Structure 1
Amino acid sequence: MPENNFPKLHNASWPGVVGKGPDSEPPISIDTMIELTANAEVDGVKFDGFDLFAADPHLDIDSNDDGIKKMADKARAKNLEIGSLVAPVWAGTGGGSAMGSREERNQFVTQVRKACIIGKKLRDLGIRPNGVIRIDSSVDPHSWAADPVGNTKLIAQTFREACDVAADYGESLAAEGEICWGGMHGWKTMVNTLEAVDRPNIGFQADMAHTLLYLLGYNKEDERILPKDFDWSDRATLTEGLKTVTAALRPWTIDFHVAQNDGTVFGSGSHDKTGRHCQATDPNGKLDIAVDAGHWLRDENGILTKKIRHICWDGCMFPNDVMMQPKTWNDILGAMIKVRQLHGWYEAP
């Protein structure tokens, strides 16, 4: 029986950018992130690709054809493919709040359009066989809470407009379930927002570090599943909680980040606090990475969905000294290989 070769194993480039900057550590260049990814190897297995942050300093959202081809060439030179793209929809990067003024919402949609153009060109260049465009609401939960019903309608309308634009380029949009984004900061709230969008090309981007925080009700106490002062040694209760969240969100899931979390929140630079991304071997990690990934990659009967063609490791806000160590990426790759061994499949080339 051949080794599983799907889902493809990707690293994320954006940990070199997110949480970095003048009020934190310097960004790590895309060339360095690609090099670190390409050099990782465990028992002869290497990363298949990386997911890309479509914003400076990694890839200018206004890149011309030459700039996009240059990025494709960088990937191809290291025998890597490119997967999902993050659209820079935030105010500081040219976007705006999805529930803001008409101008802010137009800016949001414009950034999605630019990311979709890049995504399609990378597909046409043959370097991006799968992947989606990742978005969030670009607004905090406190602002959303001032008018949950009205603000959810606004976010859904903005997402709907963005979906219609994305459809013109053959792209789907994945809304990230992260507790720092309004309208997406609780698991039930996230489902409500997705349902309100009502477009076939909207979906959910699950990140194991972020979705674990859904169980604890951070920023959405009324959606807490695990009791306060939860005893993390109670694996059975944790598993049931994970099953509850994944049952609600798995049908929407079109993009998946493998990650570890120690049950706390963390933020660095200008990034609000959200689920802490821990190293793959962190002894304080609360997840059994390989086993718990199965809640997302298998249906309620334990059958592989095969919907997710590539999985991505997200190590956002890792310190630079951690990211510059080859062992970090070998440990991550090792964890992802275990996920694929348990929940993957083989397709003939």
Structure 2
Amino acid sequence: DLFLFDPHVSIDASDDDLKSLADKVRKRGLVVGSVVAPVWPPTGGGSAMDEGEGRTNFLKQVEKGCRIAKTLREIGVRPYGVVRIDSASGPGDWAKDPAANQMRIAETFRMACDIAADHGEKLAAEGEICWGGMHSWKAMLELLEMVGRPETLGFQADMAHTLLYLMGYNAPDAGLLPQGFDFSDEAAFDAAYKKMTDALRPWTIDFHVAQNDATVFGSGSHDKTGRHCLPDDPNGKLDIVKRAGYWLRDENGQPMTRFQHICWDGCMFPNSVMQKQETWNKILGAMVAVRDAHGWS
């Protein structure tokens, strides 16, 4: 999966740049999956709640992201995947006028869907507690239903971020676990996790395997959201393979077969951690275990 912003892959990459990237990917026996459109104000985008310049800039970045995704697909190095977006708006600003702001975000997302459809792409909104209108499982579900474009817009489920949905960070009324919850209470955790995944799984078209210790983390301009931990973190609250099954299998226990790859998001780890072979042995081990337990071909 690719982040479309310097110094990673430039959102303004030329066709020649993308051909060069494709050659590097092929030489390593890899393919490209999902791409992240840099829709936030600091990266050239804008708030999806802003009906003026913010919306214009948001949609501009979506269009650029869809162009790159389509080009890589046509080159033959990207056989699957989505274009990842969020509302690029904070929950505090959203809460100043929830109903109106949710409608504005939905309208922006519908416009983004038109752009994606023109490029033959799908969008996935990554639910996190830091994005207004997407900051709880209830708000996320409401937004997806308001947009009403399931053929073009779906949900990107990240196991670390969605754990915080259960705990009601930034949306106490939507919390499914009480404050100070004892995670050894497996039955209560099962019930809460099932309620959330039953609601969002039908919309899920992209999936991040992850671990979380039930705390939040933020850096730079990024508001606090679910902290990513390594798979074997002693404070991790998730049985990764078990909980992944709630997302990857339907209500009858059958594999969903709705997407063709899974991802591990390493955005919260320092380079010193990501450059260790041991780190990748753990991450890939967790992902292979999820694939072996719940995968399809």
Q: Same fold (TM over 0.5)?
A: yes
CA RMSD of aligned residues (A): 0.8
Aligned equivalent of 2:286: 335
Q: Does 1:194 align with 2:144?
A: yes
Gaps of 5+ in 2: none
CA distance in 2, matches of 1:337, 1:300: 23
CA distance in 2, matches of 1:172, 1:65: 21
Q: Does 1:173 align with 2:130?
A: no
Q: Does 1:287 align with 2:238?
A: yes
1:302 is matched by which residue type in structure 2? Answer: G
Match for residue 2 of structure 2 among 29, 52, 56: 52
2:261 is matched by which residue type in structure 1? Answer: H
Q: CA deviation at 1:72?
A: 1.0
Q: Does 1:161 align with 2:111?
A: yes
Q: CA deviation at 1:283?
A: 1.0
1:60 is matched by which residue type in structure 2? Answer: S
CA distance in 1, matches of 2:79, 2:11: 20
Aligned equivalent of 1:109: 59
Match for residue 83 of structure 2 among 133, 137, 144: 133
CA distance in 2, matches of 1:227, 1:93: 36
Match for residue 225 of structure 2 among 266, 274, 277: 274
1:136 is matched by which residue type in structure 2? Answer: D
Could you list the per-position Cα deviations for residues 317-339 of structure 1 after superposition, in whole angstroms to 9, with x for gaps in the alignment? 11221111110011000001100
Match for residue 201 of structure 2 among 250, 257, 262: 250
1:290 is matched by which residue type in structure 2? Answer: V
> What SS does the aligned partner of 1:81 have?
coil
Q: CA deviation at 1:235?
A: 1.3
Aligned equivalent of 1:299: 250
Aligned equivalent of 1:20: none
Q: CA deviation at 1:313?
A: 0.7
Q: 1:205·1:257 contact (CA, 8 Å) conserved in 2? A: yes
Share of identical aligned residues, percent?
64
2:52 is matched by which residue type in structure 1? Answer: R
Aligned equivalent of 2:174: 223
Q: CA deviation at 1:345?
A: 2.7
> What SS does the aligned partner of 2:134 have?
coil
Paired residues in the alignment total: 296
2:148 is matched by which residue type in structure 1? Answer: D
CA distance in 2, matches of 1:254, 1:148: 26
Q: 1:175·1:202 contact (CA, 8 Å) conserved in 2? A: yes
1:277 is matched by which residue type in structure 2? Answer: H
Q: CA deviation at 1:272?
A: 1.4
2:8 is matched by which residue type in structure 1? Answer: H
Q: CA deviation at 1:270?
A: 2.7
Q: 1:97·1:104 contact (CA, 8 Å) conserved in 2? A: yes
> What SS does the aligned partner of 2:219 have?
coil
Where relative contact order (Cα < 8 A, 6+ residues apart) is larger, the structure is 1
CA distance in 2, matches of 1:319, 1:63: 26
Q: CA deviation at 1:308?
A: 2.1
Q: CA deviation at 1:76?
A: 0.9
Could you list the per-position Cα deviations for residues 148-191 of structure 1 after superposition, in whole angstroms to 9, with x for gaps in the alignment? 10000000000000000100010011001011000000001001
Q: CA deviation at 1:315?
A: 2.1
CA distance in 2, matches of 1:185, 1:336: 26
Aligned equivalent of 1:309: 260
Could you list the per-position Cα deviations for residues 195-222 of structure 1 after superposition, in whole angstroms to 9, with x for gaps in the alignment? 1111230100000000000000000000
1:208 is matched by which residue type in structure 2? Answer: M
Q: Does 1:144 align with 2:144?
A: no
Gaps of 5+ in 1: 1-50
> What SS does the aligned partner of 1:284 have?
coil
CA distance in 1, matches of 2:219, 2:187: 33
Aligned pairs (5 A) from 1:34-49? none
Q: CA deviation at 1:268?
A: 2.2
CA distance in 2, matches of 1:341, 1:74: 28
1:174 is matched by which residue type in structure 2? Answer: A
CA distance in 1, matches of 2:274, 2:221: 19
Aligned equivalent of 1:45: none
Q: CA deviation at 1:296?
A: 0.4
Q: 1:87·1:134 contact (CA, 8 Å) conserved in 2? A: yes
CA distance in 2, matches of 1:330, 1:214: 29
Could you list the per-position Cα deviations for residues 9-58 of structure 1 after superposition, in whole angstroms to 9, with x for gaps in the alignment? xxxxxxxxxxxxxxxxxxxxxxxxxxxxxxxxxxxxxxxxxx00011111
Q: CA deviation at 1:254?
A: 0.5
CA distance in 1, matches of 2:119, 2:221: 32
Match for residue 47 of structure 2 among 78, 94, 97: 97
2:275 is matched by which residue type in structure 1? Answer: M
Q: Which runs of 4+ in 1 moved over 4 A?
A: none
> What SS does the aligned partner of 1:247 have?
helix
